[in-house]
Structure 1
Amino acid sequence: MVKVFDATQCALGEGPLWHPERHSLFWFDILEMRLYGEGSVRQFDEHVSAAGWVDHDTLLIASETQLFSYNLETGAQTHIAPLEADNAVTRSNDGRADPFGGFWIGSMGKQAEKYAGTIHRYYRGAVEVLFEGITVSNAICFTPDRKFALYTDTHSRRVMRVALDAEGWPKDAPEVFIDTRIEGLNPDGAVIDAQGCLWVAQWGASRVARYGSDGVFMGAVSIAAKQASCPAFGGPDLSTLYITSAAVGLDGPDEGKTYFIETQAQGQREHRVIL
């Protein structure tokens, strides 16, 4: 049964991250420029959207202009690298640490301007462009065998898969992994479990859908909020599925809350970012 994990109604809840050393869930409200977790609300002065863990006390956070390290105990921030700092149109959106110590982060237009977004990779001190011409970057996640990365442009309604080389860089052209255009679904944030199954939030459909490693639909978890935005696995054995949602543009007591459900699946331990 799906339950409410946190009743805060986020305008745009996103970026849930289970910190494997703190055993805590962190997530963002992008539009309100806030980070939630461990009973605290941390306010920033620009949009923040996604994070990876560096060590017990440190996150790497993506904002609209930079990647920066953030100390969860002191609040200290250290600039790591610029992120489209000279582009006032865009902000960061979906992101996740990769199995090689890197961090993939997508951008998008603040008003969802068509093709304004880019997917970047931070790796060992530098940010490189991976894919351009994306409207709403989402669903960044990695297979447990370290062979593939997945991502989507929500606007396209297709989840893409790209093969990775030995250092985690794309080595082939992306291919369509899941096509939801016929169903009219909107893939948003996603995570891959330890068995290689994709769990992807479907914006506007009140659910997170599960697909096998072959891309075949296996079922879905429904939530009360219409705009499911991103899932993450956590809990003592990584079998708890957390789901953020967004209240923006909607009225109703269930919108924007963060939900959870105990599953029979097991997630992957979130990868550590190497600065």
Structure 2
Amino acid sequence: MVDLKPFPGRVLDALNTYHGEGPTYDPVTDTAWWFSIGNRELHELNLATGRKTKHDLPFMASVLAKIDEDRQIIASEHGLHVRTVATGALELVTPIENGIEHMRSNDGRCHTSGALWFGTMTKSGGEGRKGAGTIYHVLQGKVTPIFPEISIPNGICFSPDGATAYYVDTMENVYMKVAVDPATGLPSGKPEVFYDARGEEGGIDGSVCAADGTIWNARWGVGEVHHYSIDGRITERYKLPPKQATCPAFIGNNADRLLVTTAGEDLTAEDLKADPEAGYIYELGVPVQGVFDAAYKI
């Protein structure tokens, strides 16, 4: 494996977020968004002004995508909600696993077709988590389960041409790729191995796909950000201060910067003494060639 480089970036938000997840960015307003899943919070940070706003939610949620200038879609433990940006009003428009109290949403991202992929998993760990979740495809309210028996869905992202999707079950730690229809985002082939991380330290967590088709990935448990080539090789590794890195997102007007969320989940007071920045939000500090997340087609 390539050499690990020291952290070159800076802190964007110095808060011990319980489980930072699902970051995305709106270039129109220069605003980054992310969730603290366990705290039922949506966080908003204007990058130009540094103004930070925390929005309380009535449910656990983990994925946000833009619909238009006035509305967003949120994936939660109940399904998909439309959120009105100006007021924060929420409307459940597509129930998915609604009422199954032990399940919640996790990683997800919008495909260029306007379809949303997102996964579900159990709220608690243990043997009951194994194979309990599903990765769903949702387009204009139509729900299609595409990959069942997923324990911890992560790494969901898409090539810029919309022809390839990536996902991982972090419990298995084998990153997969699959051909998809660029017009719909539905799988058109069989999944195959992109990168096998079994036996390596840390779990493959959230990802984004760059303009050149390479992938930036957060590695849970070791506090690293990895850069994958198109043919599935790690070409760069960067260290973050906390151990629990969760997900990256491209930010900045040119999508040339990388935000990374982290988590302080399940850390004791003693753990936090050794890992005091757990849950902070970072800018990695290396130049990237990103693309902005697609909008959801409602």
TM-score normalised to the size of structure 2? Answer: 0.90
Q: Name the residue aligned to 1:259.
A: 282
The answer on 1:129 being equivalent to 2:145 is yes
Contact 2:201/2:221 (8 A) holds in 1: no
Contact 1:120/1:129 (8 A) holds in 2: yes
Q: Name the residue aligned to 2:259.
A: 242
What's the CA shift for 1:126?
1.3
Percent of paired sites with the same residue: 36
Question: What is the CA–CA distance in structure 2 between the aligned matches of 1:16 and 1:262, rounded to whole Å?
Answer: 17
Q: Name the residue aligned to 2:294.
A: 271
For structure 1, the residue ranges without an aligned partner over 5 or more in a row are: none
What's the CA shift for 1:161?
0.4
1:68 to 66, 69, 81: 81
What's the CA shift for 1:220?
1.4
Matched residue type, 2:133? G
What's the CA shift for 1:85?
0.7
Runs of 4+ in structure 1 deviating by more than 4 angstroms, as ranges, are none
Contact 1:147/1:164 (8 A) holds in 2: yes
Question: What is the CA–CA distance in structure 2 between the aligned matches of 1:66 and 1:212, rounded to whole Å?
Answer: 33
The answer on 1:145 being equivalent to 2:161 is yes
Q: Name the residue aligned to 1:56.
A: 69
1:116 to 132, 138, 143: 132
Aligned residues: 275
Q: Name the residue aligned to 1:6.
A: 13
Q: Name the residue aligned to 2:119.
A: 106
The answer on 1:206 being equivalent to 2:233 is no
What's the CA shift for 1:199?
0.8
Contact 1:157/1:184 (8 A) holds in 2: no
The answer on 1:86 being equivalent to 2:118 is no
Question: What is the CA–CA distance in structure 2 between the aligned matches of 1:83 and 1:92, rounded to whole Å?
Answer: 10
Supply the RMSD in Å over aligned alpha carbons: 1.1
Question: What is the CA–CA distance in structure 2 between the aligned matches of 1:183 and 1:261, rounded to whole Å?
Answer: 22
Question: What is the CA–CA distance in structure 1 between the aligned matches of 2:256 and 2:39, rounded to whole Å?
Answer: 29
What's the CA shift for 1:167?
2.0
For structure 2, the residue ranges without an aligned partner over 5 or more in a row are: 1-7, 46-51
The answer on 1:23 being equivalent to 2:30 is yes
What's the CA shift for 1:89?
2.0
Q: Cα deviations across residues 114-152 of structure 1 (Å, max 9, x unaligned)?
A: 111100011012111010001000111000121100000
